[in-house]
Amino acid sequence: MSTLYRDTAVVLRVQKLGEADRIVTLLTKRYGKIRAVAKGVRRTRSRWGARLEPFNHVDVQCYTGRSLDVITQCQTVDAFGSGVVADYSRYTAGCAILETADRIVSEEGGEPSLRVYLLLVGAIRALAGGERDSSLILDAFLLRAMSHAGWAPSISECARCAEQGPHRAFSVQGGGAVCERCRPPGSVTPSPETFTLLDALLHGDWDVADAAEPFTRRDTSGLVAAHLQWHMERQLRSLPLVERRAPERREPVTGGPHAG
C-alpha cells in the first residue's frame, strides 16, 4: 500500500527517464536520501519542472512506489540554483558539494543524514550568496561532512598516539597530523598556517579562514581532497573541475605617476 509523505529537501542530481520524466535524487531532512520519479517535468507545460533542478531547496510531497517513489507536488523553499550556476567557480564547487553529499549519505536516513542535510543547506546558501570564497566553503563542507562520517582528519593531536601537537607532518593514510615518532613514510610537511586553516574550516572560524593567504588555501585544499578521496576509495568526478580562484590582493602604492 502506497504511503504519502512530505519533507524539505535539496536536489542532488537528476536523470532522464523516458520521454518526459526524470529520476530525482534528493537529500531530505527526515527521510535521508531518496530517489523519486517526477512525471512529465521535461515537458514545456510542466508547472514545477524547473524547481527540481540541482542545488534547489524544495518542499516535496511523494508517495512510495514499488521501486521508486513518485513526486506529486513540489514547492520552492530557496531557489539557490540561480545564484550558484551564474558563476563558474561557485558552480564547480557546488557540484563537488552535491556529489560528496550523495556519496556520504545512504538511503537509510537517521541522524547522520540530518546533519549532512543541514550542513548542505548552509553550504549551498553560502555559495549562492557569493560573499565568501567558494573554495573555502567547499573545503569547510568537506571537512565537516567527513566529521559526520567519522573520517575527519586529526589536526591538533597525533592521529596514531594522540599526543598533543602542534605537529609538523600530515599523513593521509595515517589519518591526519602525526608526531615525529609515529610519522609513516610518505608523510608531507604542511606549513603551520595550513594546519591553522584546516582547524578554522573544521570549526567555522571564518575570520581566520578569510585571512589565509592563497598558497595556504591551495595546500589546504589539496590535503582535504586527498583525505576525502582516500576514505571514499574513489575519486570524485567533479573535484578536478573545481576552479580554485584566490581573492585578488591589491599591491601597495609606492609612488605616483611622477615618482622616481
**Which is it for the CA torsion 166, 222, 208, 10, positive or negative?**
negative
Q: Rounded to two decimals, what is the model's pTM?
A: 0.87
Q: Beta partners for 170?
A: 177, 188
Q: What is the architecture of the domain spanning 88-152+190-241?
A: Up-down Bundle (1.20)
Spatial neighbors of 143 by CB under 8 A, at least 6 apart, are 152, 153, 198, 201, 202, 224
Instruction: Name the one residue in this structure whose C-alpha cell is 590582493.
Output: 249
The predicted structure's pLDDT at residue 218: 93
CATH class for the domain made up of 4-78: mainly beta
Instruction: Output b/e per residue, 15-53; b: 16+ Cβ within 10 A.
Output: eebeeebbebbbbbbebbbbebbbeebbeeebebbebbb
What are the mean pLDDT values of the chain's consecutive 10-residue runs (260 residues total)?
86 89 92 89 72 92 88 90 89 94 75 88 93 93 91 92 91 92 92 95 94 93 92 81 60 40
Contact 133, 210 (CB under 8 A): yes
Spatial neighbors of 141 by CB under 8 A, at least 6 apart, are 97, 100, 119, 120, 123
Segments making up each domain of the chain, as ranges? 4-78, 88-152+190-241
The predicted structure's pLDDT at residue 244: 66
C-alpha distances out from residue 91 to 100, 133, 227, Å: 14, 12, 22
